[in-house]
Amino acid sequence: MKSKSSVVRVLLCILAGTVLLGLTSCGSGAGYNIPIVCGETNMNDICGIATYGVNYYNLGVRAGDMAADILLEGADVSKMPVRFDPSPALTVNTSVADEIGFKIPESVLAKVTGDSTLEVTRVDSAIVSSGGNFTVGILQLVQHVALDDSNRGFQDQLSVRMAAAGKTVTILDENAAGEQANNITIAETFVSKKVDLIYTIATSSSQAAAAATEEIPVVFCAVTDPVDAGLVASMDNPGGNVTGVSDINPVADQIDLIAELLGKEDITIGLLYTSAETNSEFQIRLAKQHCEAKGYTYVVKGINDLNDIQNAFIALKDVDAIYIPTDNVLASGAATVHSVNIGG
């Protein structure tokens, strides 16, 4: 028969093992607390600590100008160069940094430039529910802050341009809820309704619209590499009925920002992205190339959906920081990413 002291020792060992297991399990309250740099500002506001990011509202405004040039001035889509955000801004998220116990260096804080959002006052009277001088179909892949901002910026600027020209526009605003089948159906519906222009937000939505028509002008936004996606022949000369605004980020600057945040160059960076997203895959290639050029070690982890987040963090638990490019799946689940990271 075991003594009481032996039983106590066994119970203590079991308890210690349970605690240790709890510290490594999801939702236990013990997080990974890994610094994250995101490819876009809105996601960084939820789960990252700093980034050089494009402003998606501004991208939408530029797309709205392009659409107005086509509709009001008869601009030739095939000769309209793809546009960009000319000056991505550095933003920091001290709240998340505090949550994970990370101190953002003063050298980084000193570079923060503040809000760069364009000021555009929407003219509601220029957007009518039916019977407008023009009809524009909007096809958005999924709802999350960055893409919503692209949509809002587009409509705001288009309304301003329409009002200035004494015209009105009817907008058919549709969301594919992340499903490619919905992208195809919505695009084909716009074509059957003979809309005057299709505005697409995200790569797969843009591909669906481009496949549905070779005649109706398509203006895209939130597409990282439109050439690789098969949307345009080149950035300067699209060559067809499709052009728009790329959301390409300064990936090299974002990766170097990680080194500056950590205060060293002997670092290991986790590259987290959704494997099925063309735009994310392209940015990860750029990130890998820059890491190799600078001598940074990297670990790549692709996911299929948000159910893979916990396993992704387990795989990346030993990295110094994580980089997430502009990625629709991860952006829509930014709160989940943050929760897993802090152990919420």
For residue range 177-212, what is the model confidence (pLDDT) as tens digits? 999 999 999 999 999 999 999 999 999 999 999 999
Same domain flag for 77 and 187: yes
Q: Is residue 294 part of a domain?
A: yes
Per-residue pLDDT, averaged over 289-295, amounts to: 97
Domain end residue (candidates: 208, 226, 246): 246
293 CB-near residues (< 8 Å, 6+ apart)? none
Same domain flag for 227 and 257: no
The more confident residue out of 37 and 25 is 37
167 CB-near residues (< 8 Å, 6+ apart)? 72, 126, 132, 133, 134
Region of poorest pLDDT, from 26-35, 192-201, 217-226, 296-305: 26-35
Same domain flag for 206 and 284: no
Per-residue pLDDT, averaged over 83-109, amounts to: 93
Kind and range of the H or E run holding 18 = helix 4-23
CB 59 within 8 A of CB 153: yes
Q: How many CA atoms lie within 13 A of 202 on its CB side?
A: 30
pLDDT per residue as tens digits for the range 114-154: 778 899 999 999 999 999 999 999 999 999 889 999 999 99
CB 191 within 8 A of CB 216: yes
CB 63 within 8 A of CB 226: no
Q: What CA–CA distance (Å, rounded) separates 287 from 253?
A: 10
Q: Is residue 156 part of a domain?
A: yes
| Number of domains observed in the structure of the chain | 2
Same domain flag for 36 and 182: no
Same domain flag for 156 and 255: no
Q: Is residue 231 part of a domain?
A: yes
Q: What CA–CA distance (Å, rounded) separates 148 from 60?
A: 9
Residue labelled with tokens 């022949």: 233
Q: What CA–CA distance (Å, rounded) separates 7 from 270?
A: 44
Residue 317: pLDDT band (50, 70, 90) is very high
Q: Is residue 157 part of a domain?
A: yes
Question: Measured at the alpha carbon of residue 205, what is the angle toward residues 197 and 159, in degrees to the nearest 5?
Answer: 40
Same domain flag for 305 and 323: yes
- Provide the residue range defining the domain that includes 287: 28-53+250-342
Q: What CA–CA distance (Å, rounded) separates 41 from 51?
A: 7
65 CB-near residues (< 8 Å, 6+ apart)? 157, 161
Domain end residue (candidates: 246, 277, 312): 246
The torsion region of residue 77 among left (phi > 0), alpha (psi -120 to 50) and beta comes to: alpha
Cβ neighbourhood burial of 326 (10 Å; 0-12, 13-18, 19+): buried
Same domain flag for 129 and 46: no
Same domain flag for 168 and 315: no
Q: What CA–CA distance (Å, rounded) separates 310 from 239?
A: 44
Q: Is residue 298 part of a domain?
A: yes
Q: What CA–CA distance (Å, rounded) separates 272 from 337?
A: 11
Q: Is the pLDDT of residue 29 over 80?
A: no
- The amino acid at residue 194 is K
143 CB-near residues (< 8 Å, 6+ apart)? 175, 177, 332
Same domain flag for 175 and 237: yes
Residue 7: pLDDT band (50, 70, 90) is very low
Same domain flag for 284 and 145: no
147 CB-near residues (< 8 Å, 6+ apart)? 56, 140, 141, 201, 202, 222, 328, 331
Q: Is residue 201 part of a domain?
A: yes
Same domain flag for 61 and 152: yes
- The enclosing domain of 270 has a CATH number of 3.40.50.2300
pTM: 0.78
Provide the token pair at 78. 């095939």
Per-residue pLDDT, averaged over 326-337, amounts to: 93
Residue 12: pLDDT band (50, 70, 90) is very low
Supply the pLDDT for residue 40.
Answer: 86
Provide the token pair at 99. 């949550």
Q: Is residue 100 part of a domain?
A: no
Q: Is residue 183 part of a domain?
A: yes
Per-residue pLDDT, averaged over 318-322, amounts to: 98
Same domain flag for 259 and 178: no
Supply the pLDDT for residue 41.
Answer: 87
Residue-by-residue DSSP string for 280-304: HHHHHHHHHHHHHHHT-EEEEEEES
Domain end residue (candidates: 246, 277, 308): 246
